[in-house]
Amino acid sequence: MSEMILLRAHALALYEEMARDDKIICVGEDIGPYGGIWKTFSGLQQMYGDGQTTIGGRVLQMPMEEAGYSLFACGAAMMGYRPVVEIMYADFSTLAFEAIVDVAAKFRYNAQGKNSLPITFILPQGVGAGSGAHHSQSVESWYANVPGLKIVAPSTPSDVRAFLRASIRDDDPVLFIWHRGLMMGKEDVPDTLAPEDVPALTNAAKIVKEGNDLTVVAYQRSLAVAQVAAQEVEAETGKTIEIIDPRVLIPFDKEAMFKSLRKTGRLLVSHDAPERGGFGSQIITWAVEELGTELKNNPVSVCGKNIVIPFNKLEDYVVPNKDELKAGMKKALGL
């Protein structure tokens, strides 16, 4: 085991998968000698070539043209490659919308199931750097309404490493979304990850903390805040709170949530994206449809505010904080 920040775990996953499969290519801005804006591609071009000075190079630095290089990746996937496409900020994925939504997501259907586009689109999202409205949004719900896409949203270094590898191996287009506010988070990560230990993208939910009185489903930055809030609520109320990190949003591990809810009878959902139209609403819908008569209280959502993300420290006021989560937990508990 080695202590590793999230960014290093991300880079390690890319290195491991590129070493395993010579059909994996990396596509994006500044991913060459600079190693990417987040340094998650450091050393890869030197190792695997740039595709210009090196015939067959596999780390392809592109101009600032998300629409163009995302469509290029679709073409490469049609020819048998497995592209990893980094969009520098998740917000900029709007410029790659055609490639993601109208080409990659629909290709398996249009090919009558005979072919697919195994592309991993890497989207760094979220607050944490004071970057403002165009660099800080949480985008998972923008794409959750698109059939044909899988959405992966891990929160810890170990899960980033494991689920990025799983995303690259998957035969369908995957949006791999990591949170910039967690990029320096540290954790002990296994030195090796055997092929059989790379997880599937199904049944992916993890019980982060066990409890009996309330189920909390949260991911990424909101998950970290919920863990702190739960400790304080438990100390103040004597209740115990179970926390689930879904890790993969599509396909969502409904059964793990249902199992927890049959025990607790109460649900709180939290994420940084705005509450209106957020993925949390879908989670609550699944819970009510399956277990509506068994729930002891109405589900509660503690999510981002429905306003544009401001610059600097003002961003703290538009995403869930500890006190808001504590209040939401007590409400869900009926206290």
CATH number (domain holding residue 124): 3.40.50.970
pLDDT at residue 50, rounded to an integer: 86
Residues of the chain with pLDDT > 70: what percent? Answer: 100
Which of 165, 197, 229 is the last residue before a domain boundary? 197
- At 65, the pLDDT band (50, 70, 90 cuts) reads very high
Burial 273-306 (b: 16+ CB within 10 A, else e): bbbeebbbebbbeebeeeeeeebeeebbbbbbee
At 102-130, the pLDDT tens digits run 999 999 999 999 999 999 999 999 999 99
Q: Do 167 and 297 fall within a single domain?
A: no
Q: Do 242 and 175 fall within a single domain?
A: no
At 300-309, the pLDDT tens digits run 999 999 999 9
**Dihedral over alpha carbons 16, 22, 27, 31 (to 10 degrees):** 50
Q: Do 216 and 255 fall within a single domain?
A: yes
Q: Can you give the residue range of the structural domain that contains 143?
A: 2-197
pLDDT at residue 53, rounded to an integer: 75
Residues of the chain with pLDDT > 90: what percent? Answer: 95
Q: Does 135 qualify as catalytic in the annotation?
A: yes
pLDDT at residue 89, rounded to an integer: 98
Which of 197, 215, 231 is the last residue before a domain boundary? 197
Q: Do 182 and 279 fall within a single domain?
A: no
- From the candidates 10, 134, 135, 271, give the one annotated as an active-site residue: 135
Q: Do 18 and 155 fall within a single domain?
A: yes
Q: Do 48 and 146 fall within a single domain?
A: yes
Q: Do 117 and 249 fall within a single domain?
A: no
Q: Is the pLDDT of residue 51 over 80?
A: no
Q: Do 101 and 33 fall within a single domain?
A: yes
Q: Do 212 and 184 fall within a single domain?
A: no
At 209-253, the pLDDT tens digits run 999 999 999 999 999 999 999 999 999 999 999 999 999 999 999
pLDDT at residue 116, rounded to an integer: 96
- Based on the structure, what is the number of domains in the chain? 2
Which of 149, 164, 197 is the last residue before a domain boundary? 197
Tokens representing 90?
Answer: 């998740």
CATH number (domain holding residue 302): 3.40.50.920
Q: Do 184 and 275 fall within a single domain?
A: no
Q: Is the pLDDT of residue 55 over 80?
A: no
For range 9-21, the mean pLDDT: 96
pTM of the full structure: 0.97
Q: Do 17 and 155 fall within a single domain?
A: yes
For the chain, what is the mean pLDDT?
96
At 149-208, the pLDDT tens digits run 999 999 999 999 999 999 999 999 999 999 999 999 999 998 888 878 899 999 999 999
Q: Do 116 and 31 fall within a single domain?
A: yes
